[in-house]
Structure 1
């Protein structure tokens, strides 16, 4: 009975059934295990821990229970205890799941080499262990090891499993095929456990209550882009809530968000069902998810349907594939009308670029050297640099004189790989400068010295592209088929620079070469363009929210 309820998603009823069954058979291992697993899925980590520990006292050799207890401890942040449990489990039963979980725990502690070791052992044990394969793919992609990246990408393509392993975020950044993106997103969203609570929704308030939810209310791109919107909201018409979890970096950014909203609510200590109940009690009208399928998301909150209108916005450039997400905020470039069929959400279009911009910094570039080279720049993360694009960059350098390329790469092994590849391709490595991270004002000042930014594909720059434009640096992009590969095209169009959007690598490289040869043809960036008008953007966003509320 309990298992049937669990399969139907009725987890609280299943938990109650298993608990009653234990009153009759207190040492029934199957019932104890199912109860612990149900509590884990409900997000009741202390209860799950207690139940699984009780089971292991009865049978210390139950490796499945030990593995799941390790997962509970890892989710609670007790990483050393989790590792010890996984290691003990592996001695008794070296399953692929336990090996993978040990690797994942090492990864959470920043011990990447050990993480990769155990991911590989998991794949050796089970060559079709989707999550371990995905983790290896991500590791090699981040390090620009393109041979290994291709190997694991092909394995991912060959998998035909109910659990794709590959996260929706990995998929949208690996492939610009929107149909594939939709399939993967649906699988993950459909796998979310949630309570089918029947919440009551209010009809209307004097002010529309809008709740933004993210772990990014800190020194992070989400806040960099959204802060001025939060400040610009019409507080006479809208009551703004910020639901925050994750690290409190005590930065000025977090402080400014707290000052900008009406209510800043930390939900770290609450489970997803508890948070959903709180949101409903607060009578939030429109609940806005700023995470989607990115790391540390809490889509489980949205799965419980705590608000009458739920929106996918800004943080995730793709569909959630979720029945419980009503709308996605976009523009007609990132989601052309013909592409709406690849989104489970209804598309609500803003008139210009879907994303806000961070325009608060005045840029003071350092003095220029009189005889400097023409500077190409790419400040995107290394995972976005694919082999075909890097070859295109090297080809551009080969075809131009007195040009250099700045790339933001902090990791020495990645620098070494790119340097070796550059030599092999016949380009002097001295023409590439590896840039380190800086605080945003210093970063923008440095960036303003570049002549032309080169975008990545299939994952475009998002904040990176807008930062380049705000620093006065035009950006060449290549438009793809999915949302993530069309973000720069949206920003460039709003900035009045559609001539910098290309359709293939040849036209991309040809345009870069032409502009390097004729710097006088570089189009100026108009900082008065609609892209940088945050107040108008906020009014458009509010009109969209008002429309959603009216259409509910």
Structure 2
């Protein structure tokens, strides 16, 4: 945002007789005049320096030296003359004010604050000093003090557009968005061509989710200030939130025309390129930003995301931790680090729990004192207002799991569903999901404060998070406790770390009673299944076991590339070496086709490239069809597959999984246990290889499993969305009844027998 520093001409007060007793004579003045008229700046500067030595108490000499240095933008050298002037004129408010201005420009905030305060001691009604003191306090993060300074200036002179604009800036930073909008609008009434006020108004409106109005403000700012790089950047941000990435890119490029070193813009362009899968180009943008600003935390974090997506886990961790070292308050980066840690085989369950709790301590604890006293009616049997918050309500794995449940939950008369969608992607899945919600809200542009306020205003009784620490989560809105009961479900295999998140939905296979309770800040509710599964209609029929025709076993993996690591490839390769005729199909890889590191990892384990069939991400029908080449899928660890495991099961392909001590390392065993395939669950690496060899040596048994897997899924709780939905409805009612009774959250189970009793 843009703040306005108020400058004014330096008109020093009268100097004492002591300071004027020795001064230049008429010849000195004549020499100065001649040098000035002839533009001989270097000699003029030398003359003034001589004067300060000959006449050390002569204020105009110091002023002249300071002026000529400032005109040459030699501000650091101009500091000493200004300090001397303030020393010679201790009761001159103007002298201390101008000293404060220069100290602020030189990055000396503590000294600037002292100078402004001294000016105000001398002249309490010094409007410009109140304004500029507010600016420096705002830069120091002392927002409440800054607001007081601006308000004091406006009490003295109410119609200062610059100060109103600055006050709007501070109020927006404090989350007081309506007040910020009012201040900026008032500034524009006074000064209709005030580009900076239009820019700040746009930012406040953007935080309120009023993206079209924000865009209008930025365009107005650019009408009055055509080279306004900040406005182009903010316009780009708004266009991006509206899903107009091409237009956003154009706006960002215009910003760079006027400010070639605009690091935020390089970072944002990198984000667009990353989302487009152009990872090398995205990384180049982040590196360009870091070359200009080495302590740019967000760029370090985004580099980490690319490293993570490429499976370069050590580099990813370094980048995330560097970003948090620079700026510990980056919640999104902290979430990225936590998500990374779930993929790190060297991170045990205790460490994961501690790290997640630290997230809550850092980001939620300061907000908990301001949690509202919820006034929701404590009627235990009334219709419940249930909100779902997610950025994944489009063609995404989470949507594929939530849709079968929503289809049934929407039919329960005692539930009213509200959707809070935190993404600008609108596809056929989004349109289909919307019909299950009586109320639908796009919240991509809302600040966390504004989102929490909307949820409270909507009267939500139970608020459900579908993201956890994955992309586009709104955990900081949950940290404000906008609903009486808050629940995390299906989006993230682990705790949020928030004390205000009351429950976590799982099942008895994923989180057996008593075994994982201490790893969650939430109380655990065990449903018949964690989530329902409905196969895609484009899945082809199950074919005969490929090994029967090939004469060799084909292993497969369709997990995202970031789950693949040298330890994973090392264990898989033990099987491939033990079965030298076997092959491996790897699907769902990066579309850029950069698989060099992956191929090298296999080569280092003695598995030749010729034994690998590598496929980039493709359409859903082709993706399912690839399973017809595979006999057995091999799971990743410590972050097991979930969607990929279920899709493989539907195609008749069991997954050999290695169970571990963290929640992410139990996803594979959970799904296999649900369909009665515990024989594919290995307890350690040796057992993994042993089971793989055993199944690889018994193709007839494997063919038998393949032939009835679809029926196993249909008969399991996973394959019965109506059962899962009934369990969720029962769980929500139980949670609500406990809150109505004033009871704390508590873990409980909802068995499969609940189906049929809740309608």
* Aligned mates of 2:375, 2:728 — CA distance in 1: 26
Q: Who is 1:551 aligned against?
A: 738
Partner Cα distance (1:189, 1:358) in 2: 37
Mean CA deviation greater in 415-424 or 43-52 = 43-52
Partner of 1:531: 718
- Which moves more between the two structures, 229-238 or 78-87? 78-87
Q: In the alignment, is the contact (CA less than 8 A) between 1:37 and 1:68 conserved in 2?
A: no
> Which residue is 1:340 aligned to?
517
Please state how far the C-alpha of 1:353 moved relative to its aligned partner.
3.4
Verify the 8 A CA contact 2:353 2:520 in the aligned structure 1: no
Once the two structures are superposed, residues 391-423 of structure 1 have per-residue CA deviations (whole angstroms, 9 ceiling, x without a partner) of 222232111043211111243443343234434
Matches within 5 A, 1:116-135: 116-124=283-291, 129-135=296-302
Given that residues 192 and 303 in structure 1 are in contact (C-alpha distance below 8 angstroms), is that contact kept between their aligned partners in structure 2?
Answer: no
461, 479, 484: which one aligns with 2:641? 461
Contact 2:150 2:167 in 1 (8 A): no
Unaligned segments of structure 2, at least 5 residues: 1-133, 178-202, 740-759
Question: Cα deviation per residue 1:283-312 (whole Å; 9 max; x = unaligned)?
Answer: 332221212232223335434433221111
* Displacement of 1:182: 0.7
Deviation per CA, 1:101-139: give whole Å up to 9, x if none: 553355456553332123224445666654333322321
The one-character-per-residue Cα deviations of 1:165-194 (angstroms, maximum 9, x if unpaired) are 734244233334423541463367439989
Q: Which residue of 2 aligns with 1:305?
A: 481
**Which of 460, 471, 477 is residue 295 of structure 1 equivalent to?**
471
Q: Which residue of 2 aligns with 1:235?
A: 412
Change (3 A) 1:34 1:282: closer
Using the TM superposition, give the Cα deviation of residue 502 of structure 1 relative to its aligned residue in structure 2, in angstroms.
2.6
Cα-Cα RMSD: 4.4
Aligned pair 1:510/2:708, yes or no? no
Where in structure 2 are the equivalents of 1:115-154 lying within 5 Å?
Answer: 115-124=282-291, 129-144=296-311, 146=312, 149-154=313-318
- Which of 182, 186, 190 pairs up with 2:360? 186
Matches within 5 A, 1:234-273: 235-247=412-424, 249-251=426-428, 253-259=429-435, 261=436, 263-268=438-443, 271-272=446-447, 273=449
3-state SS in 2 of match to 1:131? helix
Q: 2:503 aligns with which of 315, 327, 350?
A: 327
How far residue 357 of structure 1 moved from its aligned partner, in angstroms, is 1.6
Alignment partners' CA distance in 1, 2:555 and 2:284: 37
Range that drifts further, 457-466 or 197-206: 197-206
Q: Retained in 2: the 8 A contact 1:123–1:132? A: yes
| Alignment-derived partner of residue 349 in structure 1 | 526
In the alignment, which of 138, 153, 170 is matched to residue 34 of structure 1?
170
1:112 aligns with 2:279: yes
Give SS of 1:292's match: coil
TM-score (norm 1): 0.81
3-state SS in 1 of match to 2:531: coil
SS in 2 for 1:486: helix
- 1:19-44 CA-partner distances (Å, limit 9, x unpaired): 96894643248646534544558823
Asked if residue 221 in structure 1 is aligned to residue 397 in structure 2, the reply is yes
SS of residue paired to 1:458: coil
Kindly state the Cα deviation for residue 355 of structure 1 after the two structures are TM-superposed.
Answer: 2.4
**Alignment check: 8 A CA contact 2:397 2:643 kept:** yes
CA deviations on 1:87-109 (whole Å, 9 max, x unpaired) are: 64453xx66x6654553355456
Name the CA distance, whole Å, in 2 between partners of 1:530 and 1:299.
29
The residue that corresponds to 1:407 in the other structure is 586
Deviates more, 1:105-114 or 1:489-498: 105-114
Using the alignment, how far apart are the partners of 1:108 and 1:155 within structure 2? 19
The secondary structure found in structure 1 opposite 2:718 is helix
Paired with 1:333 and 1:275, the residues of 2 have a C-alpha distance of 35
Name the structure 2 match of 1:43. Answer: 207
Check whether the contact 1:212–1:289 (CA below 8 A) recurs between aligned residues.
yes
Q: Out of 639, 644, 656, which is 1:476 matched to?
A: 656
Most deviating of 19-28 and 434-443: 19-28
Tell me whether 1:498 sits opposite 2:678 in the alignment: yes
Structure 1 distance, partners of 2:226, 2:434, is 48
The answer on whether the counterparts of 1:143 and 1:413 sit within 8 Å (CA) in structure 2 is no
Deviation per CA, 1:351-393: give whole Å up to 9, x if none: x432222247575135776622312111111111111101222
CA distance in 2, matches of 1:438, 1:221: 15
In 1, Cα distance between equivalents of 2:207 and 2:586: 41
Q: Is the 8 A contact 1:406 1:434 kept in 2?
A: yes
TM-score (norm 2): 0.61
Is the partner of 1:325 in helix, strand or coil? Answer: coil
Match of 1:430 in 2: 610
Which residues of structure 1 form unaligned runs of 5+?
Answer: none
Alignment length (residue pairs): 541
